[in-house]
Structure 1
Amino acid sequence: MILLTGSNGFIGSELYKTQSSLFKIVSRHQKGIDCFKVQSIDSETNWNGAFDNIHCIIHLAGLAHSSCHTAEELYEVNTRGTLKLAEDAVNAGVRRFIFVSSIGVNGSVTKSLPFNSNSKPAPHNNYSLSKLKAEQELLELARNTGLEVVIVRPTLVYGVNAPGNFGLLTKLVKKSPVLPFGLVNNKRSFISVKNLCDLLLVCAKHESAPGHVFLASDGEPISTKEFTNAITKGLGKSVYQLPIPLWCMRFGARLVGKKSISEQLLDNLEVDSSNIFDVLGWVPPYSMEQVMSSLSKE
């Protein structure tokens, strides 16, 4: 059985739905034979009794990137909380630990070549730094104990009810027949929640997965213009992409204090996910069109 943290989140709830019988969940709210209740996940969490019949952990829970969390709070939950879970799991005989990290560990923008599993980390905020530190602690624990650690750094995850930038773009497409991305020809990597969940399940059972860092994506990067066109098609709407110069959008974003959002929409963030196929033989089972078609059913 697999112990799943973060089962109430966007990715965790989708993963649980795929095959609920595989999982014992960690939750602050639910109760039941296949649920382990905790108040929080940090360096003081009591995991006694959590690991009965558990051979693998998929760790999704953590504090998300937000201005309301301090660097210390992020470190306490995302780094120390992750390590406490892993240490207690080792002591209970759990064999494998899959840590869902963040592409932010590599950086926020690719300047020339795509990021790959060997790229030097360059975390760009306290959130991604807390994830990197957790990765490092887990790999050290693996070296000392033999715990089978798998690290997955997803790119932007999209799908029905996705939060963050995807949710904002979906709302924008629903409300406006005009978008400003007509001249945006950047390259950004994405992964659907369905593909990510499939990959995590493969990582849980494949004998070659331990010891690897996987930068998870659907494959070929696309532009923000193409991505929003895909959302539009999935919603069954039509939209006109205005040819607004990039410098104009960047300047406007700076004026209203939204520089980081403009970077996420206009700059490149491309990853090379080829080692996932090389190591696991995994290819994304769902196309972007298939996943986006579900948006009209919301």
Structure 2
Amino acid sequence: MGMQAGDTVLVTGATGYIGGRLAERLVTEEGVHVRGLVRNPAKAAELARRGIEVVPGDITDPASLQGAMAGCQVVFHAAAWVSEAGSRDEVWAVNVQGTQNVVDAALAAGVQRLVHVSSCAVYGSLQQFDIDEETPPRRTGNLYADSKVEAEEVVFRAWQEQGLAVVVARPSQVYGLGSPQFTLRPLEAIRSGKMLLIDGGRHLCKPIYIDNLVDGLICCAKVEAAVGQAFNFTDGPPVPWREFFGAYARMLGVERLPAAPYPVAWLAAALFELQAAVRGRKASLNRRVVKALRSNNSFSNRKARTVLGWEPRVDLAEGMRRTEAWLRANGYLEKKRP
């Protein structure tokens, strides 16, 4: 059974970016009772104010999941280790064993559907266009990406061997509102003069606006044909980084962003890392970021559109307009003078 009005729905990672926006929209638009699993209830005051039942717990603590899932029909698993810092053991404990714990608890609680938030990172930075879901995930040695590959294997195994109705969502680069990685971070880099366009910013970004993704996750929970399937979520054709970052530059009144060829940017990033290490901080521009900004590939969203009936409703121009309004309202940008 897909999600219906009146259901009790659990969102893991509810104080995170994707989980938070999902929980908020589920409670206001879908007529379901939403529980948010949160490690730190102090961070969840806003969720509680919006009518979400805050349940303390941790996906690395199986006992806490039993109570959280009791009586739930649908689970959205959005909790993950996303930080670039962390050992393999730390990342695996959350992304792989944590997912196994969620799956086990869902089976024990008789959950009717589990929607697992994965990532297009599972394709291992394959440099091809229109990568679709027939393309097998691959490990490349990147801790985060490899952990997401293994987490998907856990989820699909529960479907194949134990009949848990699962759906795997693979977002591309999620921006909009308070996105830590693709909104707040570039904004800060531009503001502090540390944004470099690699090779003139001609390489490709694969954006998806946060509410387009949430629309897709809700489809994953409702559509019967989605069960047992993985879906890419991306807004459409890729966009050059100069256009994507250029939108943030305009919000800050910056006319032109500095550009550098890849080898120069790589060296600059190595220097930033060194400087940051001396100060005991993390570099906002590092070599991993520089490498990611040189990627030329794209993901197909055809399957999500045909099987789920999903359409990305918000295009880049409108997404950036809504993002700017959110950033101004939340003090990240000066309010526009009337």
The residue type equivalent to 1:54 in the other structure is C
Unaligned runs of 5+ in 2: 1-7, 274-285, 328-338
Q: How does 1:6-25 map to 2 (within 5 A)?
A: 6-20=13-27, 21-22=31-32, 23-25=34-36
Contact 1:184–1:246 at 8 Å: present in 2 too? Answer: no
Out of 25-34 and 187-196, give the one that drifted further. 25-34
Q: 1:54 to 1:39 in 2, by over 3 A?
A: closer
Cα distance in 1 between the residues matched to 2:117 and 2:234: 13
Q: Which has the higher helix share?
A: 2
Tell me, yes or no, if structure 1 residue 3 matches structure 2 residue 14: no
What is the rounded CA distance, in whole Å, between the counterparts of 2:9 and 2:269 in structure 1?
44
Mapping 1:83-98, distance limit 5 Å: 83-98=100-115
Q: Larger deviation: 119-128 or 204-213? A: 119-128
Distance 1:135 1:37 in 2: 25
Q: Of 282, 298, 301, which aligns to 1:270? A: 298
Change (3 A) 1:7 1:46: closer
1:218 to partner: Cα distance:
0.8
- 2: CA distance between counterparts of 1:244 and 1:126? 28
Q: Quote how far apart the aligned CAs of 1:179 are.
A: 5.6
Residue 87 of structure 1, CA deviation: 1.7
Closer, same or farther: CA 114–24 of 1 in aligned 2, 3 Å: same
Tell me which residue corresponds to 2:289.
261
Q: How many angstroms does 1:241 deviate by?
A: 4.1
Equivalents in 2 of 1:19, 1:140: separation in Å?
Answer: 28
Q: Is the 8 A contact 2:116 2:166 kept in 1?
A: yes
Inter-partner Cα distance in structure 1 for 2:164 and 2:315? 34
Q: Is the 8 A contact 2:186 2:195 kept in 1?
A: no
How far off is 1:251 after superposition?
A: 4.2
- TM-score (normalised: structure 1): 0.88
Structure 1, unmatched stretches of 5+, are: none
SS in 2 for 1:112: coil
Q: Which stretch shows the higher mean deviation, 194-203 or 181-190?
A: 181-190
AA of the residue aligned to 1:26:
L
User: What is the identity, as a one-letter code, of the residue corresponding to 1:91?
Assistant: A
Runs ≥4 residues deviating over 6 A: none
Does structure 1 residue 215 correspond to structure 2 residue 222?
Answer: no
Per the alignment, residue 248 of structure 1 pairs with 264
Residue pairs, 1:125-164, within 5 angstroms: 125-164=142-181
Q: How does 1:158-237 map to 2 (within 5 A)?
A: 158-176=175-193, 180=197, 183-233=200-250, 235=251, 237=253
1:49 maps onto 2:67 in alignment: yes
AA at the equivalent of 1:25:
G
SS in 2 for 1:64: coil
* RMSD of Structure 2 on Structure 1 (CA): 2.6
Contact kept, 8 Å, 2:81 with 2:91, in 1: the verdict is yes
Q: Which amino acid aligns with 2:26?
A: Q
Give the Cα separation in 1 of the matches to 2:183 and 2:315. 17
SS of 1:268's equivalent in the other structure is coil
Q: Output aligned runs, 1:100-111, within 5 Å.
A: 100-107=117-124, 109-111=125-127
Q: 2 CA distance for matches of 1:83 and 1:212?
A: 18
How many percent identity over aligned positions?
Answer: 25
Following the alignment from structure 1 to structure 2, what is the Cα–Cα distance between the partners of residues 98 and 105? 16
Deviations 1:145-195 (A, max 9, x none): 221111112111111221125322112334559864572322231111111
CA deviations 1:90-133 (Å, max 9, x no partner) are: 222111101111222111x3323342212122233222222211
Q: Which residue of the other structure, out of 27, 52, 59, is the alignment partner of 2:38?
A: 27
Q: Distance in 1 between matches of 2:195 and 2:108?
A: 56
Distance in 2 separating the partners of 1:212 and 1:34 = 28
Q: Secondary structure at the match of 2:10?
A: strand
- State the SS of the aligned residue for 2:93: helix
- Per the TM alignment, residue 75 of structure 1 is displaced from its structure 2 partner at its CA by 1.6
Is residue 175–residue 210 contact of structure 2 (8 Å, CA) maintained in 1? yes
Q: Number of aligned pairs?
A: 295
Change beyond 3 A, Cα 1:232–1:242: closer
User: TM-score normalised to the size of structure 2?
Assistant: 0.78
